[in-house]
Chains A and B, each alone.
Chain A
Amino acid sequence: MKLHTFTVYVEDRPGVLNRVASLFRRRGFNIQSLSVGHSETAGVSRMTVVVETDDSGAARIKAHVYKLINVVRVEDITDRPSVVRDLALIKVSANHQNRAAVMQLANVFHARVVDVAPESLVVEMVGSEAKIDGLLEVLRPYGVLEMVRTGRVAMARGSGAGVAAGGGRFLPEAEEGFSYSV
């Protein structure tokens, strides 16, 4: 069992998010995180879905997601070199006495302070989930008042293109016939 990251290109239509999310639910998979936004192609949204499962579960997820009529393309990029990012906004309790210390910690993590108030400040951090967890840990003693995270967004490295290049194909790796390694 490990975390698998899927990128899913879907038609930008009402209800499509529900179709994808509902599929994970009814097939018994628990979504760890899901983020949705525009892709490079108009009318096509891109989702990043993170699910904890084994390799055969991941293969089944992929095949099931493909069956959704509104899904244009799906990839499991877990084992591919990828850029993986999470964005967090963390509101920390901080006053004039310890504000400098908090800001210093943020600095160490390459996080930015984006709002300062008399009794708190908001730290913004972009990075891997582990790095954000690390920042969170050192901020906790000061009092984390509020936090929001986007969940993972991911993109494979290298020159492979998005949906515009591969759109509408059945399975990118199936040019020579569909096969499962056993």
Chain B
Amino acid sequence: MKRTGAQILWECLVREGVTEVFGYPGGAILPAYDAMLDYPIRHTLVRHEQGATHMADGYARASGKVGVAIATSGPGATNMVTGIATAMLDSSPIVCITGQVGSRLIGTDAFQEIDITGITLPVTKHNYLVTSAQDVARTVREAFMIAKSGRPGPVLIDITKDAQQASCEFEWETAAPVVPGWREAPPLGRAELARAAELIRTAERPVILAGHGVTISGAEPALRAFAERANIPIAATLLGIGGFPASHSLNLGMMGMHGEAWVNLAIQEADLLIACGMRFDDRVTGNLKTYAPHAKKIHIEIDPSEINKNVRVDVALVADLRDVLERLVPLTEPGHRQAWFDRIAGYKGDSAVRDIQSLPDDGHLYAAHVINDLWRATRSQDTIVVTDVGQHQMWEAQYYHHENPRSLITSGGLGTMGFAVPAAIGAKRARPEAEVWAVVGDGGFQMTMCELATAVQDAINIKVAIINNGYLGMVRQWQEFFYERRYAATPLSGPDFVKLADAFGIRSRAVSTRSDVLSAIADATAHEGPVVIDFRVEQEDTVYPMVPAGADLHAMIRRPNPIVETAAD
């Protein structure tokens, strides 16, 4: 049957299972938008194209499906770059579709012409420039295959306006992907698997490092089976949170720069690390020269370029994590490691006493309290928390205890401020039955707060908890520790967020005492529609513990004891 390139685009997207797209129209993508009306697609109109990419990303991370964002050429496309890079660094499968000027105008600096395939080359898994309607179908199929296979990532398709307008024969079946360089994961060697099993059998102080790959590969049950059988404690990366239940007795908590002391100490004292779908990022290793010096390392990872990139490993299993773990379970003997667990318990020492949660209510509102109360209030229902980047993000990781996969969505690798609100919108689109909370600082919120209008126009029921401390808090914390409290450009003012939300037509309130936190959350949950809560928290609060950048992982700045009143000093 004959179809225009624009129609073929939607024919293919529908066949790939797409029902939701996030985008912003413009001249060069107009034919695609016009054709969209004839297909069973729900379009969410964003307020800035960066928001569209974060929404597609949030949609992908909440659902495990490919998220789709669409924009016009030129500035529409360049506005997507931050969101694409965010998805790249966190291995999130999104497909971004951009309009491009007519193919005869390419290279002439035509109005709204930009080389978006060139610009996004280093931040996409792959990208395409499509200049003919005949190529649309195959390209879309390839893009989806590439985005979701192996280590997932973003793929961009730039389609010229004439390719959207021209007609050609469309046949889904014959437009099969042609990717000679595409590979399935390599076969897993029995010898490697046996070596890994032997290291696990003989280890006395093993630790599992669980990363984003656990969730991406759907390995949560396999990880649990393996950990329980071998009796090995699990530390999570930021993006690994949710891959293993926080309440499980083998769960240690988050590792790395703001991981709890006992988690990092356990890693430093371990004699075996089993890295599962994680990449030894500098935020989790600290100084590589002193990282886990006594430990043999097994690295289970689908991306071969991650092997030996940061940490030299003893056994590399380059394959799908779930597959490897399922095959490891029968090779694993029940482990008896009471001495190791006792030792880790010893590392905890007085950590619990120093924890801010143990302090009596002194009338001040701490972010940690807000987040912990949010957890108490929402733990029993299906809740997704989407964070922005900074102090509140780390407090969320520490004080919201995630039991389920895909219940925390956060920008890890790129650390993109402005991520939370649009990604929460995307997550809500993916899982409308879940309650979605965006936890966001007053800095990040002001970067993408325009997307509140999107939530209102399209009736997307997200709850926004602004952790408002009047500073770019994490940067301020670094200035406090490492720059002699010279607060260069970190004090931050903002609008009255309650009035702002009111102007958007969004229910809102401000909370500045702890006794009001739970009622505000309950009120937000009960309200059918978006809500903004402005939590006015302690201004100069600090995330502890902290491993300074590049320091040894065991050289943490610990919580002071007793906690000093930071606002008074």
Contact = CB atoms under 8 A, between A and B. Distances in A.
A60 B313 contact: no
Contacts of A15: 117, 129
Contacts of B526: none
A138 interface: no
A96 to B, nearest CB: 50
Interface in A153-182: 167-171, 174-180, 182
Contacts of A174: 186-187
A10 to B, nearest CB: 8
A178 B316 contact: yes
Contacts of B191: 176-177, 179
A84 B312 CA distance: 32
Contacts of A68: 126, 181
B192 A72 contact: no
A10 B181 CA distance: 8
A19 B308 contact: no
Interface in B379-411: none
B307 interface: yes
Contact of B308 (A66, A167, A180): A180
Interface in B300-324: 303-305, 307-309, 312-314, 316-319
A22 B189 contact: no
Contact of B181 (A22, A72, A177): A72
B94 interface: no
B305 A177 contact: no
Interface string A15-42: 1001100100010000000000000000
A182 B199 CA distance: 15
A178 B125 contact: no
Given A69-B126, A174-B186, A11 B180 contact: yes
B179 interface: yes
A130 B146 CA distance: 43
Contact of A167 (B129, B146, B180, B305): B180
A70 interface: yes
Interface string B229-260: 00000000000000000000000000000000
B483 to A, nearest CB: 28
Most buried by B among A14, A44, A178: A178
Nearest to B184: A170
A177 B125 CA distance: 24
Contact of B186 (A11, A44, A70, A170): A170
Contacts of A44: 180
B332 to A, nearest CB: 19
A56 interface: yes
Contact of B122 (A22, A67, A170): A22
A59 interface: yes
Given A26-B122, A56-B308, A169-B183, A69 B146 contact: yes
Nearest to A69: B126
A56 B121 CA distance: 25
A17 B278 CA distance: 30
Contacts of A64: 305
Contacts of B305: 60, 63-64, 66-67
Most buried by A among B129, B181, B312: B181
B192 A177 contact: yes
Contacts of A72: 180-181
A90 interface: no
Contact of B182 (A56, A69, A171, A178): A69
B196 to A, nearest CB: 11
Contacts of A18: 118, 121
B190 interface: yes
A71 interface: yes
A69 B129 CA distance: 14
B188 interface: yes
Nearest to A163: B180
Nearest to B299: A180
Most buried by B among A18, A167, A180: A180
B192 to A, nearest CB: 5
A69 B181 contact: yes
B318 A182 contact: no
Most buried by A among B185, B309, B313: B309
Given A70-B181, A182-B314, 11 more contacts: A14-B129, A15-B117, A59-B307, A63-B304, A63-B305, A66-B183, A67-B303, A179-B191, A179-B316, A180-B307, A180-B308
19 contacts: A11-B180, A22-B122, A63-B304, A63-B305, A64-B305, A68-B181, A167-B180, A168-B181, A169-B183, A170-B184, A174-B186, A176-B187, A176-B189, A177-B189, A178-B192, A178-B304, A178-B316, A179-B191, A180-B308
Interface of B: 117-118, 121-122, 125-126, 129, 146, 179-193, 303-305, 307-309, 312-314, 316-319
